[in-house]
Structure formats: C-alpha cells, structure tokens
C-alpha cells in the first residue's frame, strides 16, 4: 500500500470549455482546485502537489520533468463547446497523448474530455471517446477519482460522482493551487460552481449528462471565495451553473433569498474583490416566474461589478428547430426575458437603477451592470434557410425596440455521445457552412456594430484593461470578466500592465480606445486622432501648442469634447 504522504503529484491543466464551465486563461476552472483539495483530503501534503498549465509546458520545456518524475500525473481538460481564445490555447489530442507517454508514474485523465475528443475545438465537428493512452480515465467525477485512487494506493477506483459535502470541502482545501497558476495573482479569475446539471434536455448539450440540478449551499460557496481571497484572488465569476436564477431552489423556480445570501456573503468575505460576474441565466425562468426573477436580477445587479453578462441559451428563433431539439424557450419568450433584464439591471454606476435601460449622450460613461447575451447555435435538427432569417429578425427586433445585448455568440454544433444530436452529428452544420458564413457576417455588420456602440458609446471608461498582445502597430487587451470587450489601443505598449481606457470607436465585437485620461501634453498623434472629431489638423495644432495647464486651454475652435477623454499633466522642466 502506497502511503499518500510520500506521493509526488503533478496536475496538468489542458483547459476546459463546457456549456456551464470555463477554464481557459485568464480563467482557472474548478477542476484543478477540486483535484488538489481531494489530494490533500486523501493525505497528500500540499508541498508535494505541482500544478502546470499546458501553455507553461509549451513555453518552458524544463517543466516536463515534473510530468516525467511524478508518482501520479493528472490531466484535466476537454472542450464541449467551440471557441476561440486569446489567453491560452487548449491542449490538442497529440499533446495529451505525449503527457501520458512522458509520465513514468500512474496517469489519470478526467474532466469533460470524458465526453469525447475531436480533431479540433471547432463547430461542425464530431467527437469520440478516447483514453489517449492514459492508465486511468475518470468516467465519473475526476476529483472523486483522484481521492479514491490515492486512497486505494494508486490501484484503481470506482467511477462515482462526488457529493456536496466532498466538493465543498475540496473546494476550500484546494484553493492554494491558484498560487501556481502563471497568471496569479493579478490576471486570474476563478470560476465558481453553485450547481451543476440541468432540469431541461436540449438535444446538443452535455450539461444534462450531469443529471438534475444539485446546489451547493451559500455558506460553502462563500467559504470557497474566502479561501481563494486568502491566496490572492480578487476576480470571481459565478459561472458553473446552468441557470443562476434557479440557484438554491427546486432546479427551475427562482430563490431570491438564496441569491441574496450568496452575493452578500461573497461581498462580506471579499470586500476588496475587483470582479464579480456570472454566466448562465435561463430565459424561460424569467418568463415563468417574472416577479421572483426581477427580484433576483436586482440582487445580482446590486452586488456585481459593471459589464456583467447573463448568457441566454435561445439557440434558435425558429419554432421548427425549437420543437425538434427540445429547446425550452421561444423567440417571443426570450425577447420578454431580454426586456426584463434590461429594465432591472441595464443601469450604469452613478445613476438611478429605476432609469434602466440607459444609453445615449446623457448616460454615465460606464458599462451597464448586467445585460443579457444571446447564444445562437446552428446545425441543429430541423435547421433550414428560414432559420437564419428568423434569428436575424429576432436580433434586429431587440435593437429596434431600444434594448441592449452585451454580446451575440454564433456558433455551430459539436456532436457528443449521450446527447440527442449524436445520431445527426455535424451533417447539417456542414451542409449549411456557406449559408452560416454569410449570415454571421450580416449579423456582425448590421447588429453587432450598432449594438456595441449603444452598450459602450464613445467616452465609456473601461477600468483595468490588461494589455495582452501587439498586432499591426496596436496593443490589444481586455478587462477580467465575463465576455470582456477586446480593446485596441494605438501604439505598442508594455504588455502585462493594466490601464484605464476610454472608448473612441467600435468594431463588430471589439472597440478602439485611448488611455484614460489621455494627457494632452504627452499624447501621440495616433492617440489624439483616435478621439472622435479630432483629425490630423486638429491633432497637429494640439501638439504644436502644448504644453497646456488645463484641457480648456487647448481651445480648438471646434465642437470636440476633449474633457471627456483628456487631462493635462504639467511637464517638469530639466534640473
């Protein structure tokens, strides 16, 4: 029998993306934290647990030694929704096999990878179950497998699901692992689980494979936040659930009291948190229980941080597709849910919540507290050309009637065993590839761009934009949070820093910004001409006539509102 106190363990995070769970940097998912907590609970000392992301192994090959020499190597990963990522690149199947081949000790694989492996993380693909040459694959909960494998002397485990007491304990005991993440502490956001499973059975989704919803009581989630805060985490997303409004209830109806305990408790133990966002909210809940939902949404908007997004799984506005795929919300019902979220949470810091939704020249220049986001999925059973037009008409109606969407997510289905789409696979999506591309371009141009200008008009301030990469003479960055805006800033700036940014222009899913407030006495021509209404001639005049003691001293003789973007810092003379 192997003594757990003698074990060395390496955890490799290949990243996860599930319908109700995200873990690509700057996010850290629950899986590595729970696995670390299960190891500690089974008797493995903290100091003998090593954690690496797949990107760290790519960037620093010397760390592969930890994979080679560990008594137990645990791989965590799997993508069950398609996506494109900036902060990290999910592990490819060949890389996962290399981990198994490199490990001289026992190897265990788990996470959503158990549902299937595709050739790439993209829409219109089919998957199959593979063990990728690992000694063990956790077909149940990987954290339970980790605990039982260690407890059984690395000889095996039963594929089981963990219970609420176990996950609540492991969540706190494994919080220490965040200190080993390359993004720790400043550029890391922790995904929090309030529940998993779903009361509904949409044809394409893997979340129902976890069963009916089971909820962690508020004190257990609050305790996890407390523990993570002790290890330096200041950014949190309540993302691991199918429907935040159903939290603490019967799986369908809202429970505002549970939400109040959860959100107020988090704010009490982490008063200095910098991000508190969420992910999924089911629009059918809002339609079926409008008053309780309104109360729950108000509670969330009272405690969260601006720019939050509630992802709505409309998936299709076509009633034929809705019927054939067990989709639980119609286009009309989803529109009503969009309206209610806008009315209760579409206000901006510094104004009366009763004024929501607000936009235009008189609105404060901050992002709204909470807005809906729309998920649209193509390649589902029953899809036809009319489906695309119905989806576009739904989005146009939201805009025309004066409401806001924080983002529109358009993707193609991935097929997994155990879901109703497994028989159909990706056939429909592949047949409609060209139609999908034309429609997606139309939505980006006709809906996304004006909607983004409504949500974040020129002058909107985005605090703490983390600078991530350079491209075409510009620097790109994002805030931490749910579906953060990609921000392009003129010039190449030092990466890894955070800057406050004022929005000056809009793309389809990104914005252009300048540092806020922009110093007129030091700003470059590119930065000045980015300000709305400032052309080359005006920018040249600003440069020629500086320094200025105040913004008003830069009398341009135009209607340009520099005070919304700029300040002046008096230049110090040489000694």
What is the predicted pLDDT for the residue at 123? 39
Q: Among 89-98, 123-132, 433-442, 510-519, whose mean pLDDT is lowest?
A: 123-132
What is the predicted pLDDT for the residue at 309? 96
The values of phi and psi at residue 223, to 5°, are -65, -35
User: Structure tokens of 177?
Assistant: 């692992």
What is the predicted pLDDT for the residue at 476? 96
Q: What would the pLDDT profile of 190-247 be if each residue is shown by its tens digit? A: 999 998 877 666 665 666 677 777 889 999 999 999 999 999 999 999 988 889 999 9
Give CA separation, 24 vs 36, 158, 176, 258, 478, in Å: 18, 29, 19, 29, 14
What is the predicted pLDDT for the residue at 557? 67
**The Cα angle at residue 448 between residues 445 and 451, in degrees rounded to 5:** 125
Q: What would the pLDDT profile of 103-116 be if each residue is shown by its tens digit? A: 999 999 999 887 65
Closest CA to 123 of 77, 86, 84: 84
Contacts of 116 (CB under 8 A, 6+ apart): 80, 127, 128, 129, 130, 416, 417
Closest CA to 205 of 258, 253, 161, 242: 242
126, pLDDT greater than 90: no
- pLDDT confidence tier of residue 121, bands split at 50, 70 and 90: very low
Bridge partners, residue 109, by sequence: 75, 137
What percentage of the chain's residues is helix, strand, coil (to nearest 5)? Answer: 40, 20, 40
Percent over 70 (pLDDT), the chain: 91
- What is the number of alpha carbons within 13 Å of residue 311 lying toward its C-beta? 24
117, pLDDT greater than 60: no
419, pLDDT greater than 60: no
- pLDDT confidence tier of residue 119, bands split at 50, 70 and 90: very low
What is the predicted pLDDT for the residue at 383? 86
Q: Among 527-531, 540-544, 552-556, whose mean pLDDT is lowest?
A: 552-556
Mean pLDDT, residues 162-178 taken together = 96
Mean pLDDT, residues 53-71 taken together = 97
Contacts of 234 (CB under 8 A, 6+ apart): 185, 270, 272, 273, 274, 275
Q: What would the pLDDT profile of 429-485 be if each residue is shown by its tens digit? A: 678 788 888 999 999 999 999 999 999 999 999 999 999 999 999 999 999 999 999
Q: What would the pLDDT profile of 290-314 be if each residue is shown by its tens digit? A: 999 999 999 999 999 999 999 998 9
What is the predicted pLDDT for the residue at 416? 53
Residue owning tokens 């949470």: 345
Listing DSSP states for 395-437 in one string gives: HHHHHHTT---SEEEEEE-EE-TTSGGGTTTTHHHHHTHHHHH
- pLDDT confidence tier of residue 125, bands split at 50, 70 and 90: very low
Residue pair 505/532 in contact (Cβ under 8 Å)? The answer is: yes
Burial 44-66 (b: 16+ CB within 10 A, else e): beeebbbbbbbbbbeeeeebbeb
Q: What would the pLDDT profile of 346-402 be if each residue is shown by its tens digit? A: 999 999 999 999 998 888 999 999 999 999 988 888 889 899 999 999 999 999 999
Q: Work out whether strand 474-478 and strand 486-490 pair parallel, antiparallel, or are unpaired.
A: antiparallel
Chain-wide mean pLDDT for the chain?
90
Domain boundaries, the chain: 4-452, 460-567
What is the predicted pLDDT for the residue at 10? 98
Residue pair 99/110 in contact (Cβ under 8 Å)? The answer is: no
Percent over 90 (pLDDT), the chain: 70
User: Structure tokens of 99?
Assistant: 């981990």
Q: What would the pLDDT profile of 149-161 be if each residue is shown by its tens digit? A: 999 999 999 999 9
Domain 460-567 -> CATH class:
mainly alpha
Quote the radius of gyration of the chain (alpha carbons, Å). 25
Residue pair 151/42 in contact (Cβ under 8 Å)? The answer is: yes
pTM of the model: 0.90
In 3-state terms, what secondary structure has residue 218?
helix
Q: What would the pLDDT profile of 31-60 be if each residue is shown by its tens digit? A: 999 999 999 999 999 999 999 999 999 999
What is the predicted pLDDT for the residue at 325? 86
Helical spans, DSSP H, in 270-307: 283-288, 290-303
What is the predicted pLDDT for the residue at 124? 40
Alpha-carbon gap, residue 29 to 456, rounded angstroms? 29
The values of phi and psi at residue 238, to 5°, are -85, 85
In 3-state terms, what secondary structure has residue 219?
helix
262, pLDDT greater than 50: yes
Domain 4-452 -> CATH class:
alpha beta
């Amino acid at each position: 029998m192997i003594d757990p106190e003698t074990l060395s363990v390496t955890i490799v995070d290949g990243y996860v993306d599930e319908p109700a769970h995200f873990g690509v940097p700057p996010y850290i998912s629950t899986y590595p934290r729970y696995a670390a907590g299960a190891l500690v609970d089974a008797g493995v000392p903290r100091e003998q647990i090593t954690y690496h992301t797949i990107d760290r192994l790519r960037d620093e090959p010397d760390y592969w030694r930890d994979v080679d020499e560990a008594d137990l190597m645990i791989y965590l990963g799997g993508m069950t929704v398609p996506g494109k990522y900036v902060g990290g690149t999910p592990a490819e199947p060949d890389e996962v096999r290399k981990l198994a081949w490199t490990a001289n000790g026992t190897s265990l694989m788990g996470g959503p990878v158990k549902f299937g492996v595709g050739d790439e993380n993209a829409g219109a693909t089919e998957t199959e179950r593979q063990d990728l040459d690992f000694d063990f694959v956790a077909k149940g909960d990987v954290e339970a497998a980790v605990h039982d494998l260690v407890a059984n002397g690395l000889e095996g485990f039963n594929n089981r699901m963990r219970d609420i007491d176990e996950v609540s304990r492991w969540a706190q005991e494994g919080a220490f692992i965040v200190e080993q993440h390359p993004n720790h502490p400043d550029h890391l956001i922790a995904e929090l689980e309030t529940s998993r499973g779903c009361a509904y059975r949409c044809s394409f989704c893997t979340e129902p494979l976890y069963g009916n919803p089971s909820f962690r009581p508020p004190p257990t989630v609050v305790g996890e936040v407390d523990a993570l805060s002790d290890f330096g985490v200041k950014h949190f997303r309540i993302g691991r659930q199918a429907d935040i409004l159903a939290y603490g209830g019967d799986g369908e109806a809202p429970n505002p009291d549970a939400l109040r305990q959860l959100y107020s408790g988090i704010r009490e133990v982490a008063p200095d948190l910098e991000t508190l966002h969420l992910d999924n909210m089911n629009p059918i809940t809002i339609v079926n229980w409008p008053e309780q939902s309104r109360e729950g949404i108000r509670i969330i908007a009272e405690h969260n941080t601006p720019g939050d997004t509630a992802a709505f799984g409309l998936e299709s506005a076509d009633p034929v597709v809705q019927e054939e795929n067990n989709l639980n919300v119609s286009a009309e019902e989803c529109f009503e849910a969009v309206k209610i979220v806008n009315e209760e949470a579409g206000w901006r810091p510094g104004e009366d919540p009763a004024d929501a939704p607000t936009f235009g020249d008189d609105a404060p220049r901050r992002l709204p507290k909470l807005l809906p986001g729309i998920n649209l999925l193509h390649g589902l059973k029953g899809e036809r050309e009319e489906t695309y037009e119905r989806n576009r008409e739904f989005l146009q109606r939201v805009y025309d009637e004066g409401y806001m969407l924080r983002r529109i997510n358009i993707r193609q289905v991935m097929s997994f065993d155990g879901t109703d789409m497994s028989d159909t696979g990706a056939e429909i999506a592949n047949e409609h590839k060209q139609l999908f591309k034309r429609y997606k371009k139309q939505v980006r141009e006709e809906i996304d761009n004006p909607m983004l200008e409504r949500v974040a008009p020129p002058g909107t301030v985005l605090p703490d934009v983390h600078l991530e990469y350079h491209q075409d003479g510009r620097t790109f960055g994002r805030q931490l949070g749910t579906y953060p805006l990609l921000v392009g800033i003129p010039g190449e700036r030092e990466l890894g820093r955070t800057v406050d940014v004022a929005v000056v222009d809009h793309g389809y899913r990104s914005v252009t910004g300048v540092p806020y407030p922009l110093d007129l006495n030091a700003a470059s021509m590119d930065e000045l001409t980015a300000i709305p209404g400032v052309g080359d001639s005006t920018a040249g005049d600003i440069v020629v006539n500086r320094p200025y003691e105040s913004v008003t001293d830069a009398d341009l003789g135009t209607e340009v509102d520099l005070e919304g973007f700029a300040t002046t810092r008096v230049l110090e003379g040489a000694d």
